[in-house]
Amino acid sequence: MMTLYPGLGCLTQLWIIFVALGLVQCGSAQFCSFWNSGCIDPLAQAAVSFQFEPLFADPITLFYAFDSSLHGKGEGPMTKTAFWLGYKDHNINPYAVDMNRTSEIALRVGNLTGTPSGSNNGCDGIWGPHCSQDIQTALQNIIFKIATSGDYYTQPLATALDQFIVDQPELPSCGASVFDVAAIPVQDFAYEQVPSEEVTIMKGGAGYHPWQVWYIDQMTDIQQASQVAVGIASRAPTFGDQPPLTPNDIQIELVCLQAPQGPSGLKDND
């Protein structure tokens, strides 16, 4: 059984989509103020479809967008960043629901440049396949410890990433700056329940209803366009259910994407 909230309409079947939404100049019409954290009027937007089997039989799409302003909290520039997921259709595999699980999506932005390509949804072209494996293994191990500790938790991926940022676990094949960021926003989006085999899915997002919005101070639009955003999707046991037998029972998917680059479109505050 699936509980479904209306989401996005039909999405393109292209594996990767880059959508340049036009460089908005001061005085042009906008549907969302820069300081309104409930929506985003993107200066640039990108999307990548990726597999999240076995729960989702069809690919799901990660959207990443940002806006920019000449004047942030101080005198310097600032960007406004957002992400959300879209679902081409809602074909959930009920046979995959065999325990209570929570699925989450996170987006990491900052201190990472390059051109997405290769396996692991473009991430291998950024840091190599061994680094992708190191990150996935480290997150699996941390979530496994969280799930088997007996301590209460609500969002396993969010809890693991908080530890990741503070403790900086060893990633032998990765550069030191891979997780050198102040915060990594996380959103839970699917809840599996047994014995009903019910799956509750969060409503798909859009620019007028992004899942997470945050601000990056002292970042220009050109600088952010050069950054590679890293999506991290997870599927892990919910607190109170039987713990996983091994770290490999925890699903981690990586997705790397980059917004279109173009001439500066910095705006005054709205």
- Tens digits of residue pLDDT in 30-79: 589 999 999 999 999 999 999 999 999 999 999 999 999 987 777 789 99
- Tens digits of residue pLDDT in 159-197: 999 998 888 888 999 977 788 888 899 999 999 999 998
* Domain boundary assignment for the chain: 2-257
Q: How far apart are CA 227 and CA 110, in angstroms?
A: 6
Q: Are 204 and 8 in contact (CB under 8 A)?
A: yes
- Tens digits of residue pLDDT in 103-144: 999 999 998 999 999 999 999 999 999 999 999 999 999 999
Q: Does pLDDT of 152 surpass 80? A: yes
Q: What is the dihedral of CA 123, 129, 135, 138, to 10 degrees?
A: 160
SS3 string, 203-225, reads CCCECCECCEEEEEECCCHHHHH
8-state DSSP, 247: G
- Closest of 171, 179, 33, 200 to residue 106, by C-alpha: 179
- Closest of 128, 124, 79, 116 to residue 228, by C-alpha: 116
Residue 88, both tokens: 């081409």
| Burial grade of 9 (CB within 10 A; 0-12, 13-18, 19 or more) | exposed
CA torsion sign for 21, 25, 29, 31 is positive
Helix (H), strand (E) at residue 11:
none
**Where are the alpha helices (H) located in the chain, listed in sequence order?**
124-127, 129-148, 156-167, 221-226
Residue 261: band (very low, low, confident or very high) from pLDDT cuts 50, 70, 90: low
Q: Are 124 and 135 in contact (CB under 8 A)?
A: no
- Closest of 197, 213, 14, 31 to residue 100, by C-alpha: 197
User: Which residue do the tokens 């945050």 mark?
Assistant: 214
Instruction: Calculate what percentage of the chain has a pLDDT beyond 70.
Output: 84
CA angle (175 as vertex; 170, 177 as ends), nearest 5: 90
- Closest of 209, 178, 214 to residue 86, by C-alpha: 209
- Quote the distance between the C-alpha of residue 93 and its chain's center: 22
